[in-house]
Amino acid sequence: MPALTRNKKKGAKSQTPPTKQVTKPRTPPSKTQSKPQTTTLKKGAKKPPLKKQKKEVVVEEEPLEEDDEVVSDASIDSESEELDESDDEGGKGSNGFFSDDEEENDDDDETLGDDFLEGSGEEEEEEEEEEEGPSDVGSDSDSDEDDDDLVKQSEAIDRKLAKQKADADAEQQELNKQDESEHDAFRLPTEEELEEEARGPPDLPLLKTRIEDIVRALKNFKAFRPAGATRKECVEQLKADLGSYYGYNSFLIGTLVEMFPPGELMELIEAFEKQRPTSIRTNTLKTRRRDLADVLLNRGVNLDPLSKWSKVGLVIYDSQVPIGATPEYLAGYYMLQGASSFLPVMALAPRENERIVDVAAAPGGKTTYIAALMKNTGLIYANEMKVPRLKSLTANLHRMGVTNTIVCNYDGRELPKVLGQNTVDRVLLDAPCSGTGVISKDESVKISKTADEIKKFAHLQKQLILAAIDMVDANSKTGGYIVYSTCSLMVAENEAVIDYALKKRDVKLVTCGLDFGRKGFTRFREHRFQPSLDKTRRFYPHVHNMDGFFVAKLKKMSNMTKSSEDDDEAVETVEQDEVSDDDDDEAEAIEENRNKERRTKSKEDKRSKKDKKSKSENGNVEPKARKQKKKRSEWKNEIAQAREEKRIAMREKAKEKK
Residue 130, φ and ψ in degrees, nearest 5:
-65, -35
Three-class DSSP labels, 157-192:
HHHHHHHHHHHHHHHHHHHHHHHHHHHHHCCCCCHH
Instruction: Tell me what pLDDT residue 21 has.
Output: 42
Residue 18's pLDDT is what? 44
Backbone angles phi, psi at 519, to 5 degrees: -70, 150
Instruction: Give the pLDDT means over successive 10-residue stretches in the chain (658 positions).
Output: 43 42 43 40 44 42 41 46 46 42 44 47 48 48 72 87 87 67 65 82 87 88 80 89 91 92 92 92 95 94 92 93 93 94 95 94 94 95 94 95 95 92 94 93 90 94 95 91 95 95 94 91 90 94 93 92 44 38 44 61 63 51 43 71 84 78
State CA 80 to chain mean position distance: 85
Residue positions forming the annotated binding site for S-adenosyl-L-methionine:
360-366, 384, 411, 430
Sign of CA dihedral 36, 38, 39, 40: positive
CA-to-CA distance for 215 and 236, rounded, in angstroms? 12
pLDDT of residue 629: 45
Q: What secondary structure, in 3-state letters, does 524-578 show?
A: ECCEECCHHHHHCEEECHHHHCCCCEEEEEEEECCCCCCCCCCCCCHHHHHHHHH
Task: Specify whether the CB–CB gap between 6 and 73 falls below 8 A.
Answer: yes
Binding-site members are: 360-366, 384, 411, 430
321-326 own/partner pairs: CB under 8 Å, 24+ apart: 323/278, 323/280, 326/296, 326/299
Pairing of strands 549-556, 523-524: unpaired
| 142-176 confidence digits (pLDDT tens) | 666 777 788 888 888 988 899 888 888 888 877 76
So what's the pLDDT on residue 657? Answer: 74
* Chain centroid, CA 644 distance in Å: 80
Q: Mention every residue, 6+ apart, whose C-beta is less than 8 A from residue 606.
A: none
Rg of the chain taking only CA atoms, in angstroms:
52
Return d(Cα 642, Cα 649) in angstroms, integer. 11
Query: Which residue in 234, 433, 487, 512 is the catalytic one?
Result: 487
- 29: nearest Cα among 93, 125, 76: 93
**pLDDT at residue number 504:** 93
Cα–Cα separations (whole angstroms), residue 537 to 59, 106, 126? 108, 106, 84
Q: Is 433 an annotated catalytic residue?
A: no
